[in-house]
């Protein structure tokens, strides 16, 4: 799951924009959709992983993906498959290429 950021809606922006920019802005606002409305089990699992990855990033900073990879490797060698899958998912959320190297997947396929 990718993390995407969107600018906050600002009423000040429209007062200083040209007419063309205002039209583009209104079209963009008309196409905005809530992509979090999927309540399937997989979607909820993705939401949990995303939240955990963000907390992990807040704790470990830019080295968070490497720490998550180390946790995944530790769980793998301990034979704990559910924990391994959890940490690989967190690693994948933070750094897809690093996760591919852990799980033995080809990074081109991701």
Give the separation between CA 17 and CA 20, rounded to whole angstroms. 8
Q: How high does pLDDT run on average in the chain?
A: 79
According to the model, what pLDDT value does residue 109 have? 42
Q: Could you tell me the mean pLDDT of each successive run of 10 residues in the chain, 110 residues long? A: 61 63 78 63 81 93 94 94 94 90 58
Q: In terms of Cα–Cα distance, which of 94, 84, 100 is closest to 62? A: 94
Give the separation between CA 17 and CA 45, rounded to whole angstroms. 41
Residue 33 zone, left/alpha/beta (φ > 0; ψ -120 to 50; rest): beta
According to the model, what pLDDT value does residue 20 have? 79
Q: For 4-15, what is each residue's pLDDT tens digit? A: 666 656 555 555
Domain boundaries, the chain: 41-103
Write the DSSP symbol of residue 3.
-
Give the separation between CA 53 and CA 41, rounded to whole angstroms. 18
């Amino acid at each position: 799951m990718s993390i995407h950021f969107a600018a906050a809606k600002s009423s000040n922006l429209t007062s200083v924009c040209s007419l063309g920019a205002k039209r583009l802005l209104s079209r963009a606002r008309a196409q905005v959709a809530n992509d979090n409305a999927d309540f399937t089990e997989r979607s909820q699992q993705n939401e949990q992983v995303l939240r955990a990855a963000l907390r992990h990033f807040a704790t470990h900073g830019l080295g968070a993906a490497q720490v998550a990879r180390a946790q995944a490797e530790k769980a793998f060698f301990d034979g704990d498959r559910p924990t391994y899958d959890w940490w690989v998912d967190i690693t994948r959320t933070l750094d897809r290429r690093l996760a591919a190297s852990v799980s033995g997947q080809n990074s081109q396929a991701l």
